[in-house]
Amino acid sequence: MLVVGATGGVGSIVVQLGKAAGATVVAPALPEDEEFLRGLGVDEVLPREGDLITAVRERYPNGVDALVDVVTPYQPTPFDAVLADGGRIASPTNAAGEGPGRTNVMHAATRESLDRIAQLLADGTVKVPIQQTFELPQAPEALGALAAGHTQGKLALRVA
Ligand SMILES: NC(=O)c1ccc[n+]([C@@H]2O[C@H](COP(=O)([O-])OP(=O)(O)OC[C@H]3O[C@@H](n4cnc5c(N)ncnc54)[C@H](OP(=O)(O)O)[C@@H]3O)[C@@H](O)[C@H]2O)c1
């Protein structure tokens, strides 16, 4: 499973869910993020700069079975060129396109999905990586950091 955008808030959870499902997880990332990603279970980190499609195809000539793209904004992902025949794509940024095996994920919690993620959190399968926690009065600072900075996992706001 290739995860593009693995370092961020969504991707850092996606890679853990991939590992829990038994996938070999591959992610393009910055060198300084490699240790963080390996700590989440990422099996292989590829350079983020350069031609990702060529890099993946050289490493996996038959392509990858699954792609999660959390960075391509609201247009079909160019990275589907790395998919193996029958491979699947999911994206929270509407980058999956349309058709069989393509899923644009929208936040829509159900009791069933919340129960499932609660269990994965409770048993330690999934952790929520928090780079920094801000107190409520620091909310503007937190938003500024979110907009301007490169975050490993999530920034948190303490409300109680
Ligand atoms: N559909 C939904 O319900 C839903 C729910 C939540 C989020 N979203 C959307 O999902 C997207 C991701 O959210 P997020 O909270 O995870 O954002 P985020 O924390 O900013 O994570 C995105 C990550 O991707 C990295 N990145 C950017 N370009 C890359 C590339 N070419 N290769 C590898 N990594 C790259 C970013 O690095 P830099 O920091 O260096 O840019 C960042 O670490 C956002 O567009 C958000 O609006 C949708």
Write down the pLDDT at residue 107. Answer: 87
Answer whether 91 contacts ligand 1 (Cβ < 6 A): no
Answer whether 7 contacts ligand 1 (Cβ < 6 A): yes
Answer whether 153 contacts ligand 1 (Cβ < 6 A): no
Domains and CATH numbers, the chain: 2-122 (3.40.50.720), 129-160 (no CATH)
Answer whether 103 contacts ligand 1 (Cβ < 6 A): no
Answer whether 104 contacts ligand 1 (Cβ < 6 A): no
Q: Whose CA is nearest to atom 33 of ligand 1?
A: 5
Q: Whose CA is nearest to atom 22 of ligand 1?
A: 8
DSSP code for 137: G
> Cα angle at 22 between 104 and 119, to 5 degrees?
75
Q: What is the pLDDT of residues 128-139, one digit of tens each?
A: 999 999 999 999
Q: Whose CA is nearest to atom 12 of ligand 1?
A: 70
The CB-side HSE value for 107 (13 A sphere, CA atoms) comes to 2
Supply the mean pLDDT for the chain: 96
As a whole number of angstroms, the distance between CA 153 and CA 25 comes to 17
As a whole number of angstroms, the distance between CA 63 and CA 137 comes to 48
The CB-side HSE value for 65 (13 A sphere, CA atoms) comes to 6
Q: What is the pLDDT of residues 13-62, one digit of tens each?
A: 999 999 999 999 999 999 999 999 999 999 999 999 999 999 999 999 99
